A and B are shown apart, each in its own frame.
Chain A
Amino acid sequence: MNQPRTGRALLARLAVSLVTFWVIVTAVFFLLRLAPGGPFDGERQLPPEVEENLRAAYHLDEPLVVQYGRYLGMLARGDLGPSFKQKDFSVNELVASGAPVSLTVGGLALLLAVAGGIGTGVRAGLAPGSALDRTLMGVAGLGLALPSIVVAPVAVLVFAVLLGWLPAGGVDSPAHYVLPPVALALPFLAAIARLTRGSVAETLTEPHVRTALAKGLPAGRVLRRHVLPVALLPVVSYLGPAAAAMLTGSVVIEQVFELPGIGRYFVQAALNRDYTLVMGVVVVYAAFILTFNLLVDLAYTRLDPRIRLGGR
């Protein structure tokens, strides 16, 4: 691989990611402020002077553009600001306490979906049309149709309430980290299995694979060296969107399993107009997804030498 060119292209990719990040932050910032209502119209009517002071203390009395500039400045220093609603906490503290839980659940789910999905898909794809293939893909089809909002409550009912094998919610022990990632991963595992299956079956018919087999190479080696690197390309490019969707899905999973992650802040904070907390969650999600996409792009160039970052 052409190293200097790859390095420069990587920088270009990084720049695109930063621009995307800025677009997200800007869009969410102004979207939130366009909404009617504010963080201090609570259940109890505050005296006008008090509200005035509060607004001044949080700089909400300044013009929107000034507030926006202030927020970007804070963000550049890694400061997500104070939470408007949870008064004793900064958003940094809230995110720092919740993000490890969310990322653990999301990371485990991603691992499960990739390992299980590729394993299943390769099995099925090596024998297209066989009974095994039909069975696995039938199950995968069902998995796609069962969203986490169905799987998660049913899993709690069966494994926690009826069987009592696993805890229903919380994060006190490793056993608490079994059901949430499984419930989150299932539809993605099914999607990856189907994608892999189609791709493997198609790659098997390609000339370079038939040549390798005709030369008498062992089947396992052909699979590892000649089939998988080609067949996994579509799977790798699916990982970016899948990771984004899994993070979104964690909002529901955290609610069902009562996990103290950052996803459960999202809806509540948006309803409360806790501007900084919503922004904080979005910033963390966006940073994670964009980093992950960069890694996916890198993996892509590794797998397929024809594709170089930068060149078309």
Chain B
Amino acid sequence: MTARPVVRALLGDGLARLCTALLAAVILLAVAGPLLSPWSAEDIDWAALEAPPSAGHWFGTDLVGRDLFTRAAAGARVSLTIAAIATLVSVLIGVPWGAAAGYLGGRVDTVMMRIVDVLYALPFVLLVILLVVVFGRNPYLLFAGLGAVFWLDLARIVRGQTLRVRQAGFVEAARAMGAGPATIIRRHVLPNVAGPALVYATLTVPGVILAESFISFLGLGVQEPDTSLGVLIADGAQTMESAPWALVFPALLLAVTVWSINMLGDRLRDEIDARSGSAGHAGTRGSYNLRPARHGARP
């Protein structure tokens, strides 16, 4: 596999190093943040209602005196968890969909990708909002709904990659030996498209974080006493005139998280694109001279 040279190339790049460090800091905050602070996310400090950042409360406190550092850490934890689960859902839908469309080809491919085209144009977050409103604030539904929105890009990418792998000698050989489509997709196609799929999956993480914050901002996502970056930003926006820190810190945390994952994902994608000639089975090498299939060009 190509993991090692990719990692080495990224570590040689200042921007990527910075992003990795920032991301590690955010994850550390999300995991260990509540342990670092003497306050829990729900403790109320009656001596410091809506207090600015200080030695006792690093990010200040909110309207009812809760420690914002702890709450920001808890919010980041929730946002990252939702993003991870929703991304997993999108991988579970998008990768098989794209692989099946690309491998089976012909009419099946046309229909499957036309469905993706149609869904792509829908105001899907509206449907997610409807789902959440209608079926109650079940967080699992939120994950599933968001995942079901974000699989479209993945399906397109995986289909494009599959079209290239499909031509390879080893796939031909497997077919000649009598392997069925399901077996070939599982054993030969999926391992070869895993790298690019993984990269594009990282690029859906910031999208999910933003969508969750959007829905929570409207008061429809994560509910009190739980919190997320979107909830904190919404609360902070309410009190920003008297307590700007309540908006600034969560917003900064969200921006840093999204920005560093975006940048890192872009760099990863560039690396993978540059190296796609050597990705996967040795046997595919020759076939990568084929012109890459692009679904983006419309029918």
Q: Which A residues contact B (CB, under 8 angstroms)?
A: 16, 20, 23-24, 27-28, 31-32, 34-35, 141-142, 144-147, 149-150, 153-154, 157, 161, 233-234, 237, 240-241, 244-245, 247-249, 251-252, 255-256, 266-267, 270-271, 278, 282, 285-286, 289-290, 293, 297, 300, 307, 311-312
| Smallest beta-carbon distance B4→chain A, Å | 27
- A244 and B133 within 8 A (CB): no
Question: Could you name 11 residue pairs across A and B whose Cβ atoms are closer than 8 Å?
Answer: A20-B118, A141-B259, A141-B262, A150-B255, A153-B236, A244-B122, A248-B125, A267-B219, A285-B123, A286-B123, A312-B299
- When distances are taken between beta carbons in the complex, the residues of chain A under 8 Å from B237 are 149, 153, 256
- A244 and B123 within 8 A (CB): yes
Q: Indicate whether A244 sits within 8 Å of B121 (C-beta atoms), given known contacts A142-B259, A270-B129, A312-B299.
A: yes
Q: Chain B: which residue is nearest A161 at the CB level? A: B241
Query: Is B214 on the interface with A (CB-CB < 8 A)?
Result: yes
Query: Is B206 on the interface with A (CB-CB < 8 A)?
Result: yes
- B251 and A150 within 8 A (CB): yes
Q: Chain A: which residue is nearest B238 at the CB level? A: A153
- B120 and A240 within 8 A (CB): yes
Write out, one digit per residue, whether chain B residues 255-266 have a CB within 8 A of any chain A CB (1) or not (0). Answer: 110110011000
Besides A149-B217, A149-B233, 16 more A-B contacts (Cβ < 8 Å) are A16-B118, A24-B122, A31-B127, A35-B134, A141-B262, A141-B263, A154-B240, A157-B241, A245-B125, A248-B124, A248-B125, A249-B214, A251-B126, A251-B218, A266-B129, A297-B298
- A28 and B241 within 8 A (CB): no
A81 to B118, CA, bound (A): 28
Q: Which B residues contact A (CB, under 8 angstroms)?
A: 110, 114, 118, 120-127, 129-131, 133-135, 206, 210, 213-214, 217-220, 230, 233-234, 236-237, 240-241, 244, 247, 251, 254-256, 258-259, 262-263, 296-299
A310 to B236, CA, bound (A): 51
Q: Indicate whether A145 sits within 8 Å of B258 (C-beta atoms), given known contacts A35-B134, A157-B241.
A: yes
| Smallest beta-carbon distance B241→chain A, Å | 6
- A300 and B298 within 8 A (CB): yes
CB < 8 Å neighbour of A247 from B123, B129, B233, B240: B123
Q: Chain B: which residue is nearest A146 at the CB level? A: B255
A27 to B131, CA, bound (A): 11
A275 to B146, CA, bound (A): 23
| Smallest beta-carbon distance A30→chain B, Å | 10
- B122 and A289 within 8 A (CB): yes
